[in-house]
Structure 1
Amino acid sequence: MTDGMPEMSSLERTALYKSLGNPLRRRILDYLGRHGEANSTVLARELGESSGTTSYHLRKLAEQRLIEEIPEKSGGRERWWRGLPFRHTTPDPATMSPEEYAAAEQLALLKIEADTRLFRRAHEEYRGPEGWAQVQRSGTWMTKENLHAFVRAYHELLDLYGHTREDAPEGARHVNLRFYAAPEPVGEWNGEPTGP
């Protein structure tokens, strides 16, 4: 399910994962996230592509409701774009078609590479508990219901403390946050179960 949006079909999710896995589209989304808005000419110059290429990918991103045109800045052939808020929860892989699963897996591998770089940067840039870079690692016992409630609370905290680019107070910076939770593997140790 895509949070705040209608339920997506397997075909729509497959297209979404392929789009998010496209290197140029990822760079366009990153640029819009950092700078707020751009047109195909600006993106072509900044990303080293032709304006025809960036224009094509902008239209594709708009079709998937990842970006939108800025009507008050657009006119004639010049169209300006901005990113849209987006949050997506990937469904159970067992419910995916083979093509959807392959696209989701490819996107996940790209995310893991990016997240590994972010993890290293957070450690390198850590300047104590009052700095911008923060690293927290925890472990605790939870039921599945506890974990699901925790994830909902995590999203509520993001909504409570986070801001859109337009509403961010002075001094705010874009901060990359990641959340992972995985139970210990199910197995046995000395004949005793180690998982649920």
Structure 2
Amino acid sequence: MSGPTPESELTSLERTALYKSLGNPLRRRILDYLGKHAEANSTVLARELGESSGTTSYHLRKLAEQRLIEEIPEKSGGRERWWRALPFTHTTPDPKTMAPDEHAAAEQLARLKIEVDTGLFRRAHEEYRGPEGWAQVQRAGTWMTKDDLHAFVRAYDELLDRFGHAPEDAPDGARHMNLRFYAAPAPVGEWTGEPTGP
């Protein structure tokens, strides 16, 4: 079974197609469903997402072409094809290096992510029940060099690997968690004494 193409090997055209796929609302819903439920076929997705099976089948094939999902051979037979999501990570390159079509697709995807993440940010505050609850909010400001920042990001990735679980290996009581990390230098003159916490 082949996995996703390493991001270092993606061409600008392939990245453009990837951003367009990830920015397609229905394809994102399909990927979200597979992420939460591990597997599905076009009929299941059609029922759960309120689409026709022909539509979900088309988008499943497109996602498979980009190696974002793969068929489950042991469950598939005849016209019934079952799918599962593939592990996927991608780091968007510097926008200054992008071709115009790639930049436009990346911007469209970024706008969609911002909308989704804004909703998640609101939910985290609304569902916050103290430091022992499921919803957690952390905001902080500090001084870092660029090397410090990059080391922090690597440590963040290591923490995700250390504490996260694949769906099939998740222990009892585990829930699918949405986590986001953003960091940007404060504008010159902006107050940086951000308190830690929600």
Conserved? CA contact 1:68–1:84, under 8 Å: yes
Aligned counterpart in structure 1 of residue 19 of structure 2, from 17, 35, 38? 17
Which residue of 1 is the match for residue 129 of structure 2? 127
In structure 1, give the amino acid aligned to 2:169. Answer: D
CA-CA distance at 1:28 after TM superposition: 0.5
Which residue of 2 is the match for residue 36 of structure 1? 38
Q: Secondary structure at the match of 1:166?
A: helix
TM-score, L = length of structure 2: 0.91
In structure 2, give the amino acid aligned to 1:88. Answer: H
Conserved? CA contact 1:44–1:51, under 8 Å: yes
Conserved? CA contact 1:3–1:89, under 8 Å: no
In structure 1, give the amino acid aligned to 2:25. Answer: P
Which residue of 1 is the match for residue 117 of structure 2? 115
Which residue of 2 is the match for residue 194 of structure 1? none
The count of aligned residue pairs is 187
Conserved? CA contact 2:7–2:91, under 8 Å: no
Aligned counterpart in structure 1 of residue 68 of structure 2, from 66, 69, 82? 66
Cα-Cα RMSD? 1.6
Residue 128 to residue 187, structure 1, CA distance change in 2 (3 Å): closer
Which residue of 1 is the match for residue 146 of structure 2? 144
In structure 1, give the amino acid aligned to 2:144. Answer: M
Which residue of 1 is the match for residue 82 of structure 2? 80
Which residue of 2 is the match for residue 153 of structure 1? 155
In structure 1, give the amino acid aligned to 2:146. Answer: K
The structure, 1 or 2, with the larger RCO (C-alpha pairs under 8 Å, 6+ apart) is 2
Conserved? CA contact 2:125–2:137, under 8 Å: yes
Aligned equivalents of 1:3, 1:186: Cα separation in 2: 40
CA-CA distance at 1:105 after TM superposition: 0.3
In structure 1, give the amino acid aligned to 2:30. Answer: I
Conserved? CA contact 2:39–2:85, under 8 Å: yes
Aligned equivalents of 1:28, 1:34: Cα separation in 2: 10
CA-CA distance at 1:70 after TM superposition: 0.7
CA-CA distance at 1:162 after TM superposition: 0.4
Aligned equivalents of 2:161, 2:142: Cα separation in 1: 24
1:139-160 per-residue CA deviation (whole Å, 9 max, x = no partner) reads 1100001101111111111011
Aligned counterpart in structure 1 of residue 105 of structure 2, from 98, 103, 106? 103
Unaligned runs of 5+ in 1: 189-196
Residue 11 to residue 3, structure 1, CA distance change in 2 (3 Å): closer
CA-CA distance at 1:4 after TM superposition: 5.5
Q: Secondary structure at the match of 2:168?
A: coil
CA-CA distance at 1:7 after TM superposition: 2.3
In structure 1, give the amino acid aligned to 2:140. Answer: S
Q: Secondary structure at the match of 1:43?
A: helix
CA-CA distance at 1:103 after TM superposition: 0.3
Deviates more, 1:3-12 or 1:13-22: 3-12
Aligned equivalents of 1:52, 1:121: Cα separation in 2: 34
Conserved? CA contact 1:3–1:88, under 8 Å: no
